[in-house]
Each structure stands twice: as C-alpha cells, then as structure tokens.
Structure 1
Amino acid sequence: MSKDESWDGTVVKKSRGMLDGSNLYRRVKIRTGSGETQKVRVGRALWKELEVGDRIVKEAGQDPHRA
C-alpha cells in the first residue's frame, strides 16, 4: 500500500518484530470492506492504541488512524 492510497478496514491481528535485527516494526492485519486482508505498518502510538476489532482508516497522503 502506498502513501497515496486510501482505504479503511477492521483490525484482525496485531504483530511486531525485528525483521532486520535492529528496528522494531509494528504491523496490523486488516480486513477491508471488500473482504481482502492486508498487512499495514503503523507507528508505535497507533499500534498501542489499536485492539482487534477496531476500525482503521487511511486517507490519501495521510497516515492511518483509528476511526
């Protein structure tokens, strides 16, 4: 998903990991309105705020946020 895309969905899973051995990446898996699932990288503050079942929205050119 690019910075210019817009989407919305429901969080189905939260995960984090040190994929490169030095940086901690936080991701959420979302189910979009069309039924497909996507993994989305989010910032620490948003990751801590989100729970499974929460709605998340991203407008074109903006960062994702809780709806």
Structure 2
Amino acid sequence: MSNEQAWEAVVVSKSRAPLDGSNLYRRVTVRHDDGPEEKIRVAREAWKQIEVGDRVMKEAGQDPRRA
C-alpha cells in the first residue's frame, strides 16, 4: 500500500530486528479489514504503544497510529 492510502487494520504480531545489520527496524503485521495481512514499518514511539489485538489506522500521507 502506498503512503497516500488510508486504511484501518488489526495488529496480529510485532517484531523488531536489525535487518540491515546496524539499524533497528520495528514492524507490525496487520490484518486489513478486507482480509489481507501486511508487514508495515512503524516509528519507535508507535511500536511501544501498539499491542497485538489493537486497531491501527493510517490516514493518507500520515504514519500508522493506534486507533
């Protein structure tokens, strides 16, 4: 999904890892309301607030956040 799309979804898992060997990336896997799952990168503060089972939303041009 592009940054200009808006959506809502439910968090099904959280992960963080140094995928490039030096930077720590925080990701959540979300299940969109229409069915498909997607891994998305989130900012550190959002990752700390979001828990599995939470609803998250993303408005067009914005970062994902807890709904």
Q: TM-score, normalised by structure 1?
A: 0.95
Q: What's 1:20 paired with?
A: 20
Q: TM-score, normalised by structure 2?
A: 0.95
Offset of residue 5 of structure 1: 1.4
Number of residue pairs matched by the alignment = 67
d(CA) in 1 for partners of 2:66, 2:51: 10
Q: Which runs of 5+ in 2 are unaligned?
A: none
RMSD of Structure 2 on Structure 1 (CA): 0.7
CA deviation string 1:31-61 (max 9, x = no partner): 0101110001000000010110000000101
d(CA) in 2 for partners of 1:55, 1:15: 17
Which amino acid counterpart does residue 31 of structure 1 have in structure 2? R
Offset of residue 2 of structure 1: 2.0
Identity of aligned residues (%): 60
Q: What's 1:7 paired with?
A: 7
Which amino acid counterpart does residue 56 of structure 1 have in structure 2? V
Following TM superposition, the consecutive aligned residue runs of length 4 or more in structure 1 with deviations greater than 4 angstroms are none
Q: Which runs of 5+ in 1 are unaligned?
A: none
